[in-house]
Amino acid sequence: MSKYLKNLITDELRNRLDGVSDALLVDVIGMEANANVELRKSLREKNIRLMVVKNSLASRASEGTALATVFEGGSGTSAVVWGGEDVVSLAKEVMRFAEQEEYKPFAPKGGVMDGEKLSKEDVAAISKWPSRSEQLSLLVGQILAPGANLSAQLLGPGAQVASQIKQKSED
């Protein structure tokens, strides 16, 4: 491959990965074409992108970015997955597809989160974390719980008295 062509491909990769700080590497080698198409379609529906790249070109394209560590020391080709709501939901989707028999060669190889390199074990562990929306719902529940408890404690005795008065009036 000529140097001019490598520079063109590197620039295109740099543009596609611009602004991406969290990504995962997955293995798609050996996957049947139909399964690959279905996988990409399912990922696109969740706003997740998958791109197969040559590691040396991706390494050149990601120099000086948060993704630089993920391509260090790699050889051959890799598939990069990025997007989704957050890196936790991305890891959950990758692990969900990795466990399905129809996408069998598909498996996580590693990744990068906040500039730190992840192993495939780290990706599996991150997939068990609560996603951003789950974390927000937990936080809102913790914020609203004291008020709900106070309201129940204030309204409880009044409701009990009203119930007793209603029973007496019916008798």
Per the document, the length of the chain is: 171
Element (H, E) at 10: helix 3-16
Same domain, yes or no: 122 and 38: yes
16-43 tens-digit pLDDT: 888 888 999 998 888 899 999 999 999 9
Q: Would you say residue 75 has pLDDT above 80?
A: no
Cα separation, 64 vs 14, in Å, equals 11
Same domain, yes or no: 161 and 136: yes
Which DSSP string do the residues of 48-97 spell out, in sequence order? EEEEEEEHHHHHHHTTTSTTGGGGTT--SEEEEEEESSSHHHHHHHHHHH
- Give the structural domain span for 141: 131-171
Specify the pTM.
0.73
Same domain, yes or no: 33 and 103: yes
pLDDT of 136 reads 87
Cα separation, 79 vs 69, in Å, equals 15
Residues contacting residue 25 through CB under 8 Å, at least 6 positions apart? 70, 74, 78, 79, 80, 81, 108, 109, 110, 111
Same domain, yes or no: 13 and 90: yes
112-168 tens-digit pLDDT: 998 888 988 999 999 998 888 888 888 898 898 888 888 888 888 877 888 888 888
pLDDT of 71 reads 82
Confidence of residue 108 (pLDDT cuts 50, 70, 90): very high
Cα separation, 155 vs 153, in Å, equals 6
| Two structure tokens written together for 65 | 């970015």
Instruction: State the first-to-last Cα distance of the chain, in angstroms, to the nearest integer.
Output: 96
Same domain, yes or no: 59 and 24: yes
Same domain, yes or no: 137 and 167: yes
Same domain, yes or no: 138 and 118: no
CB atoms within 10 A of CB 46: 13
86-104 tens-digit pLDDT: 899 999 999 999 999 888 8
